[in-house]
Every structure is written in C-alpha cells, then in structure tokens.
Amino acid sequence: MFEGIKKFGFGLMRLPKLADDSIDVELVKKLVDEFLAAGFTYFDTAWAYSGSEVAIRQALVERYPREKFQLATKLAAWRATTQDEALKQFDESLERTGAKFFDFYLLHNMGDYRTKYFDDFKVWDFVAEKKSAGLIKNLGFSFHATPEELEKILTAHPEVDFVQLQINWADWDAPAIKSRACYEVAQRHGKKVVVMEPVKGGMLAAPPAQIEKILRDAEHESSPASWALRFAANLDGVAVVLSGMNSLEQMRDNVSTLKNFTKLTPAQEKVIDEARNELAKIPLIPCTACDYCANVCPQKLPISGFFAMLNHLTLFENKTFASRREGWLARARDKNPASSCLKCGKCESVCPQHIPIRKNLVRFVHEFERSD
Ligand code: SF4
Ligand code: SF4
C-alpha cells in the first residue's frame, strides 16, 4: 500500500497565507515543486482544512500527472448534523481537489465524542462502497484519544489499512497524548502508521533553550526540527511522516533530513532520551485529560484544556503559541471562562491525579484572562 512511497509527506493543514488571509497559492506551487523534485510524493489534506483542498488542486493536481503523486484527504463526520451532510463531504472533496480518486482516505479525528458520528451516519459502510468502486485506494483514520479507544476501533474495523497518529518525541510518554501506547496498539494490529504532528505544531522546531542546547551540542549542524522528524521516521511500521511547511527554508531543511534518512544510532537515540528527560524536569501539571472533573463541574469548565495551555506556556514561555496550539482543547472558554469557577471543589474530589485544580485555575486566569 505504501510501496514506493518515500517516508515524508507534505501536510497541508496550515498553508502559507497572504496579507488578506487567503492561501498563498503561488508559494504553495513552489513548495510542491521542490517537494516533488526531491522525490517525495505524498500529500495530506482534509475536507475540514479551510481552502486547502482547492489550493492543492491549483498547486498540484492541475499541474502534475495524476500518477506522479498520492493524495490523502479526510471526512469529518462530527462536523455534520445529518448523514447526508456528512457523506456529501466525499463528493465535495473530489470536486475541490479534482483528484478523481483518493489514494488514501481517512475518517478524520476519531476518538472521544467524535467516534459515534461515524457509526451513526454509517460512514464506514459508505467508504467501503467507495473503496469497492475504486474511488478510495486505501482506507484509514486519524486519531486523537486513548490507546484503549484505539484498540476498540481497530478491533471493530479490521478493514482499516492504516492509522494516522500524533507522534513526537515530546508526547511519546505524555499522559495526555500517550503517543507510544497508541503506536504500540497500531503495531499489534499490524497497521501501518502515518505520523502527524512530529514537530508538535512547530514547537519542537524551536524548543525551550535548555532542550535546544542538548540537541545542538550533540550535532551542531542539525536543526531541532530534523531531530523531531528523525525520531518519528525511525519507528518501525511508520510509513509516512507528515510535516506542514510554509516556507522554502523549512521545506529544504525537512527534505534534506528525510531524503537520505538512515536509522538513528544508539547514540542519537540517547540524545533524544536526554532531551526528553530534560523536558520532564520542567514542572508540568500532571493532568491526563480524563475529564472526570469537567463532568462534575457545575460551570462545565474545560479544565483539561486550560491545563494543556498552561503546560504549553510553562514549556515554551509563549502565550500566543499556547493559545494557538492548545486553545482548541479549551474552546468552551469563550462561554465558560476559568474566572467563572465557583471554587466549590467538586472537581478536586474526583481528580485521580489529586491536582489542586482551583489553585491552577487561578493561575490560568492570571496568565490568560487578565489583561493587566
Ligand atoms: S471548583 Fe470550579 S472548576 Fe472545580 S467543579 Fe467547582 S466550579 Fe468547576
Ligand atoms: S480530573 Fe484531574 S487529571 Fe482528569 S482531566 Fe481533570 S484535572 Fe486532569
């Protein structure tokens, strides 16, 4: 299924933009040209990535023979309110991309409350029909939830050809993401893995100073991003490592990292372990995102999302990045801000990690809600 496809894919979620906020298609064309010229062929978009499917039609599909690349896109059933609305995303993707068929088609972001939509709207039967009709060559799903849930989905759907997982060296053992455990579930089921977020939304390309020092001391000439990509590419069973790129400089750095990729040496693996251990010294809130607290909170506060933002801030000392990167986990905060906490303590009585939630919410208000 992935035979002949090199291990590096172009992730099209965050494409470069012009001043008027539209996608810079001319720059995307240049990026596509460099990517293909380096021998890479895998492109990953989604119905839900605003403007991305149309941009890739203009930059790739209309400019290169269809057999020269593979295109992956995704159906986000949880964005729909009816079955009809969900299933028509497939035809919309075909029309927007002009791709005629999809080499790889994914159910987008399964896990948590979202999984149910794919069952309720009979998306699994629908994509099986499209696969029989030759419009989908390989079927997979992207996933952001627990290894237990991944186990359940893969057991229920052995027809899946591959899974797309969030894997990076920082999240490898992180309780909220559990990259390693999810990867191991996929391995046990014999599924090929496409890696998303190998540089954690760009953050591992510019890690905290003490982490960068460890990486640069080991290999002065290698960028932190190259360590992140190599960590993901090094894993057995990983077929493609996706990276979003919005400048030629990033593209060239990534391409040179993965063009002649060879397995990491034990010494290089040790460097990553050291970086991870250093990261572990940074005092983070040990929240596992189980959301027991949110279920009992009378104010319905997205507590684990707040903590993801605080942890990001602790790690990278950048509030804008913390909001941009993890803010979606706390998207209910517009209606339910941390400052509306009643201090009733119900959340703390159910938190398995015994986290002083109220105290941390005060910190959140101070960092993210107060303007002074
Ligand atoms: S203390 Fe605040 S966050 Fe905790 S349950 Fe009560 S209102 Fe919700
Ligand atoms: S109950 Fe505790 S560990 Fe679970 S999400 Fe809430 S704060 Fe995090």
Residues whose CB is less than 8 angstroms from the CB of residue 67 and which lie 6 or more positions away in sequence, other chains included: none
Q: Residue 320: its pLDDT value, please? A: 85
Domains of the chain, start order:
8-275 (3.20.20.100), 292-369 (no CATH)
Amino acid occupying residue 342: L
Amino acid occupying residue 98: G
Residues whose CB is less than 8 angstroms from the CB of residue 286 and which lie 6 or more positions away in sequence, other chains included: 175, 353, 355
**CA pair distance 43, 242, nearest whole angstrom:** 8
Mean pLDDT across the chain, nearest whole number?
92
**CA pair distance 329, 311, nearest whole angstrom:** 12
Taking CA atoms only, the protein residue closest to ligand 1 atom 3 is: 341
Q: Is the CB of 298 under 6 A from ligand 1?
A: yes
Compute the average pLDDT of residues 62-78: 97
Percent of the chain predicted with pLDDT > 90: 71
**Residue 246 pLDDT exceeds 90:** no
Q: Residue 350: its pLDDT value, please? A: 78
**CA pair distance 186, 180, nearest whole angstrom:** 10
**Residue 262 pLDDT exceeds 70:** yes
Compute the average pLDDT of residues 305-315: 89
The ligand whose atoms approach the alpha carbon of 355 most closely is 2
Q: Residue 264: its pLDDT value, please? A: 96
Q: Which position has the higher pLDDT, 70 or 21?
A: 70
Taking CA atoms only, the protein residue closest to ligand 1 atom 6 is: 344
Query: CA–CA distance from 153 to each of 72, 147, 312 (Å)?
Result: 20, 10, 30
Task: Of 3-12, 22-31, 280-289, give the lowest mean pLDDT range.
Answer: 280-289
Q: Out of 288, 310, 341, 357, give the residue to mutate to test ligand 2, the one with the largest number of ligand atoms within 8 Å of its CB.
A: 288
Q: Is 0.75 surpassed by the pTM of this model?
A: yes
Q: Out of 178, 290, 326, 364, give the residue to mutate to test ligand 2, the one with the largest number of ligand atoms within 8 Å of its CB.
A: 290
- Please tell me the distance between residue 112's alpha carbon and the centre of ligand 2 in angstroms: 15
Query: CA–CA distance from 26 to each of 41, 49, 121, 244, 253 (Å)?
Result: 19, 18, 38, 16, 20
Q: Residue 82: its pLDDT value, please? A: 97
The ligand whose atoms approach the alpha carbon of 288 most closely is 2
- Please tell me the distance between residue 176's alpha carbon and the centre of ligand 2 in angstroms: 10
**Residue 176 pLDDT exceeds 80:** no
Q: Residue 371: its pLDDT value, please? A: 60
Taking CA atoms only, the protein residue closest to ligand 1 atom 5 is: 297
Taking CA atoms only, the protein residue closest to ligand 2 atom 4 is: 290
- Please tell me the distance between residue 300's alpha carbon and the centre of ligand 1 in angstroms: 8
Q: Out of 350, 351, 363, give the residue to mutate to test ligand 2, the one with the largest number of ligand atoms within 8 Å of its CB.
A: 351
- Please tell me the distance between residue 281's alpha carbon and the centre of ligand 1 in angstroms: 28
Sign of CA dihedral 225, 247, 252, 100: positive
